[in-house]
Amino acid sequence: MLTVSVKWQKEVFPNVEIDTSQPPYVFKCQLYDLTGVPPERQKIMVKGGLLKDDSEWSTLGVKKGQKLMMMGTADEIVKAPEKGPVFMEDLPEDEQVVAPGHSAGLRNLGNTCYMNSTVQCLHSVPELKSALVKYSQSGRSNDVDQSSHMLAVATSDLFNDLDKSVKPVAPTQFWQLLRKKYPQFGQLQNGSFMQQDAEECWTQLLFTLSQSLRTSNASENADTVKALFGIDIVSRTHCQESGEESSEAESVYSLKCHISQEVNHLHEGLKHGLKSELEKASPALGRSAIYLKESRINGLPRYLTIQFVRFFWKRESNQKAKILRKVDYPLELDIYDLCSEDLRKKLEAPRKKLRDEEGKKLGLKTSEKSSSSKDNDVKMTDAEGSTSNGSGESSSIATSQDGVTSDPDKDTHLTGVYDLVAVLTHKGRSADSGHYVAWVKQESGKWIEYDDDNPIPQREEDITKLSGGGDWHMAYICMYKARSISI
């Protein structure tokens, strides 16, 4: 790690760190955060000319303490909100009751921001809250171990406290039971509890709730968590050298957005995440061979969770290092082209109905023509696009295999279009340090930043600016809610 100073216009930025294990593009993203000059406009003078995005630091001769010159025109700098937080307890008592319009914050019990931000995001799912209330009232099933049962009940109680309180809630019991169930969250360093990875907390908590909320009642969904968050994946593994081919199906609770030099947008990262190469023993060749694994979504969740794979294990420092690269993500996400052919066919009728209804809202005439083109079916904003009317077979989208119904009394279908409802961000250089914050959309449509015990109103247009490229908060987990349609 090198430390240099950077002169830009009349300003000098001292002690700017260069991680020489990362490409210069990452350094440019740091300077973007400091100056507001986008990486593509930056001209940084180094030995041999201008600094290129993919140059090797070892060939540039940059030395510790060196002053680098940068030229470039700044864009609007993404800053933290200028208006400071307004604490609930500072408001008059009569205003505290009517003012919130959102749930309470959570007190930090000592490096527990990873847990607080996870809880706030999952608390925003009303179907999960309802399932937990029913579970608490019905009692423990014989199939659920005591520690999982207690954690599920504590989650329900904590959600209830957040809804009823206007003052910050101390999640003491929940935290104790989380540590009892998963001892890694109770690790100590110098007598204090260590910071943990929010994604690990999210995954472990959902797994526990999945075990607890399962029911044998045939009239209800057997696995509530899978119905809400489960993504059915079908994969084809092919070895070009031997011609061997196999397929498999699995269910996961999140998609991965892999980040590389080629990834600038969430959709690109998701495509990368659905393709991978692996080396394994080939029975046909009698030795190891390279296999290409390609996956597709075959069943949609009600809530789509996406993890930005920003952390990797760094041997030199023996910790998780962070990829700072900016990756944009949208308020509206369409994953139609990531779906299997079978699922695309089932989505055609609901998507056409959704386009027609959105077209009517815009005062546009819907097309009666039928078309077999699938390209027109990808963008939901194209209200005048036309697709095949489909058939009644698409009703299977509303089953527990491909998603869940929005309303059990209506024939409601998912469309493959999702709206952003929560973002969990991380600020810092390592997953096991720094600070986690939740940004959650309320039923009113307003966004609240939950910085532990401080709920802070935010503008929707600022939510997508949490895309990285510097040391400020950047998206680590995004949660999208399915847009459904009645047919």
């994946």: which residue's tokens?
A: 233
Q: CA 239 from chain center: how many Å?
A: 32
Q: Which of 198, 121, 165 is nearest to 434 (CA)?
A: 198
Place of tokens 């933290």: 80
Which residues form the catalytic set? Answer: 113, 435
Q: Distance between alpha carbon 79 and the CA centroid of its chain, in Å? A: 22
Element counts in the chain: helices (H) and strands (E): 11, 21
DSSP conformation class of 435: E
CA 322 to the chain's CA centroid: 16
d(CA 73, CA 91): 43
- For the stretch 379-383, contacts whose Cβ atoms lie closer than 8 Å and that sit 24 or more positions apart, written own/partner, are 379/334, 380/332, 380/334, 380/351, 380/354, 380/355, 380/415, 380/417, 380/483, 382/355, 383/355, 383/356, 383/358, 383/359
Contact by Cβ (8 Å): 266, 245: no
Q: Which of 114, 110, 124 is nearest to 172 (CA)?
A: 110
CB 66 within 8 A of CB 409: no
